[in-house]
Each structure stands twice: as C-alpha cells, then as structure tokens.
Amino acid sequence: MTEKTTEKPIRLLILGTGGMANTHAENFTAIPGVELVAGVDPRPDPLAAFCKTHAIPRGFANLEEALAWGEFDAAANVTPDAAHCPTTLPLLLAGKHVLCEKPLATNAGDAATMQRAAALAGVVNMVNLSYRNVPALQKAASLVRDGAIGAVRHFEASYLQSWLTQPAWGDWQTEPQWLWRLSTAHGSKGVLGDVGIHILDFATFIAGEAATEISARLATFDKAPGGRIGAYRLDANDSVTMQLRLAGGALGTVHATRFATGHLNDLRLRIYGTKGGLEVSFENATSMLRACLGDDRLTATWRTVDCPDVPTIYQRFIAAIRGEGRAEPDFASGTELQRLLDAAELSAAEEGKARRP
C-alpha cells in the first residue's frame, strides 16, 4: 500500500481587513493545508485586530512591504472595488495566485488588463462571485446544459436587499464602514456594481449564454440632508432595472435594489424554455430549485429538485492551486461581466438605450 504524501501547505495573504476579509479568513482557515501567513492594511488598529482574531503572524502596512517579504503563495484581494486593479497587478507580476473580490475592476479596460496579466503570469486567477456556491444555482445550470428545458426563451431575475431600510448588518448612517458603498468618490459603482454583478452572473450562468444586448435604468435616492454624510457624498445608485437579450435570442428582465424592505439578501430566477421551466431561489441563506419538466408540463405541475452541496469558491481556489480542479469563475468571466456592467451604465446614461457589451 502506497503511503499518502503530505501536501505542502499553501501560504495565503489577505489584502484588506474589512468585513468581507473575515469571511475569507474563516473559510480559508477551515481548509486543511492552508496557512494564513499575513494581512495587509494601511490602518494599524484594524490590521492588528484582524491578525489577532485570525492568528495571522504578520501584518504589513502596504502591499509593497508584503511583496518584498514574499513568503506567500497566494492572495485574497478584499480591497474596495477601485483598488482591485492596482493591487492585483503587482501580485500577478510576482507570480502569486489571486482570488479577487467582485467586481474584478471598475471598468472593462482594467478588467481586461488584469485578465491578460494573469494569463501571462500563468497563475490561478478567480473572482469571488460567491453565489456560484449556491447548490440550486449549480443544479439549475446543469439541467439547462443538459437540455432539460430546451432552448431558453425567457427569464426574470432579482437581487433584493434591505440594508438601506433595515439595520441588517449595522446602521449605515452611523457606521462609516458602509458609506463607501454609497459614494462614487470612494470607489463605489452602487448597487449595479455591488450586487447587480451577482444577479447578472446568476442569470447568465444558469442560462449558459452570454448577454448580447442590455438596456438599463439607474436610480439614486435622497438618503441624508444635503446628500452627504461627512466626507461621503451619497451619489452611488441604489436601484437598477435591466432588460437583456441572450446569445440564443431569449429576452429577460433583471433588477436589484437596496430598498427591498423585508429581504435581507435574496436572489430569485425564473427561466423558461421550449421544454420546461425552472425557478431558483436563495432566501434567508437557503437555496431551493423547483422545476416543471417532461409530462409535468401538461398539468403545469412544479416539483422541488434535490440539490447536493457544492464546494465553496474558497475550496475551489485552493483545489485549483493544487491542480485538483478548474479555476472558475476566472478573470475572463469577471471581464465579461464588467463589459456588461459598463454597457448597463452607459445605457442608463442614455436613458435606457440598448447597448452591446
């Protein structure tokens, strides 16, 4: 009997120590053979607290210092949106594997630059489209790929949040860590860039087709006297509605908002084809898939479909580094979505004129 060899630990650096960085740290710590070796943040107190919480031995004030040290194999980039490109490129140049938070960049040009740099570096590159972890999404995508609903003809999708009307994660009016999401000057693309990217990926990934045309409308609502809180001008969009045409000709509607009172973080998709339909939901952290297929179409009967658990993006990232799985979604996927976001933003500026990504 051959003795199993012990794998070399994968040393991980976490760039940025905000709220989402804790999710990264907790998930990576749970994976055998992964060591959190360093954190990076220019703010000394949050950096020290983060490293203490997750037993991370080293902290650096900037990425340059961390790269000069260099004793890590991979990095999780959990910086604000506008910092993704300028911080990811040096990591790629240094030959480090990178899992970058979404959106990959704030424009398609920067995203494409990151994609090319990752290809040249030959490293694992992934973007954290976290709802790819939802079992019902993966099962629905598999059914569509296998032809269970036939040719896709119509779909509707929504991402509903309420954190502007309910203190689900804290009070954005008094806790400054939330305010950057509401301010374009601080790098936010609003609900379109923050959660719109998720629901666009949710819809197009399940449909198995790229979007070839999009029209969009954006809305920003008054949320504070004078439209600002301290240094933050609250001008990022709060709600978005979109119409899409897919490569196969299907039409669909997609919308997202932070004003959906009663919905903490809920995604829904209904997709219909020539042979059947699917309904996917992720509500209160639980996913469900219902289907009307085969002879059930004759009686409009919908049945719940069993959906096995799937690996998380953190597990898939480490598996890809070990050569045990595909790096998906990669920077190419992130770039395709960024082109779609750019086209939606341009369409909204033109009062809903249809644009091609």
Q: Tell me the C-alpha distance between 217 and 107, whole Å.
A: 18
Co-location of 276 and 146 in the same domain = yes
Task: Please state the rounded mean pLDDT for residues 245-260.
Answer: 97
Co-location of 163 and 263 in the same domain = yes
Report the run of H or E that residue 121 belongs to, with start and end: helix 108-121
Q: Tell me the C-alpha distance between 67 and 45, whole Å.
A: 21
Question: 119: Cβ–Cβ under 8 A, 6 or more apart, which residues?
Answer: none
Task: Give a yes or no: residue 139 inside a domain.
Answer: yes
Co-location of 114 and 60 in the same domain = yes
Torsion angles phi and psi, residue 128, rounded to 5: -80, 75
User: For the segment 276-285, what is each residue's pLDDT rounded down to a tens digit?
Assistant: 999 999 998 8
Co-location of 271 and 295 in the same domain = yes
Task: Give a yes or no: residue 52 inside a domain.
Answer: yes
Q: Tell me the C-alpha distance between 269 and 159, whole Å.
A: 9
User: For the segment 23-37, what is each residue's pLDDT rounded down to a tens digit?
Assistant: 999 999 999 999 999
User: Where does a domain end: 288, 309, 330?
Assistant: 309
Structurally, the chain folds into a number of domains equal to 2
Co-location of 125 and 268 in the same domain = no
User: Where does a domain end: 130, 165, 183?
Assistant: 130
Tokens 């779909």 belong to residue: 155
Co-location of 298 and 174 in the same domain = yes
**Torsion angle defined by CA atoms of residues 201, 206, 208 and 212, in that order, rounded to the nearest 10 degrees:** -40
Task: Please state the rounded mean pLDDT for residues 104-109.
Answer: 94
pLDDT at 3: 37
Task: Please state the rounded mean pLDDT for residues 298-313.
Answer: 96
Task: Give a yes or no: residue 318 inside a domain.
Answer: no
Q: Tell me the C-alpha distance between 44 and 18, whole Å.
A: 13
Lowest mean pLDDT among 59-63, 168-172, 312-316: 168-172
Q: Which amino acid is at 237?
A: N
Q: Tell me the C-alpha distance between 276 and 295, whole Å.
A: 10
User: Where does a domain end: 289, 309, 329?
Assistant: 309
pLDDT band at 181 (very low <50, low <70, confident <90, very high): confident
- Whether 273 shows a pLDDT value over 80: the answer reads yes
Co-location of 77 and 224 in the same domain = no
334 within 8 A of 127, measured Cβ to Cβ = yes
Co-location of 35 and 156 in the same domain = no
Co-location of 26 and 52 in the same domain = yes
- Whether 237 shows a pLDDT value over 80: the answer reads yes
Task: Give a yes or no: residue 55 inside a domain.
Answer: yes
Co-location of 145 and 183 in the same domain = yes
Task: Please state the rounded mean pLDDT for residues 8-26.
Answer: 95
Task: Give a yes or no: residue 335 inside a domain.
Answer: no
Task: Please state the rounded mean pLDDT for residues 248-255.
Answer: 97
pLDDT at 19: 85
pLDDT at 176: 80
pLDDT at 306: 97
Task: Please state the rounded mean pLDDT for residues 267-273.
Answer: 97
| Nearest partner of 207 among 129, 140, 127, judged by Cα | 140
Mean confidence (pLDDT) of the chain: 94
Strands of the 286-293 sheet, one edge to the other: 211-219, 239-246, 251-257, 152-161, 265-273, 276-283, 286-293, 303-305
Q: Tell me the C-alpha distance between 191 and 348, whole Å.
A: 13
Co-location of 115 and 162 in the same domain = no
CATH code of the domain in which 52 resides: 3.40.50.720
Task: Give a yes or no: residue 336 inside a domain.
Answer: no
Give the range of the structural domain holding residue 296, as residue numbers without chain letter.
Answer: 135-309
pLDDT at 189: 87
- Whether 1 shows a pLDDT value over 50: the answer reads no
Co-location of 118 and 209 in the same domain = no
CATH code of the domain in which 175 resides: 3.30.360.10
Task: Give a yes or no: residue 350 inside a domain.
Answer: no
Task: Give a yes or no: residue 316 inside a domain.
Answer: no
- Whether 149 shows a pLDDT value over 60: the answer reads yes
221 within 8 A of 191, measured Cβ to Cβ = no
pLDDT at 6: 54
pLDDT at 241: 98
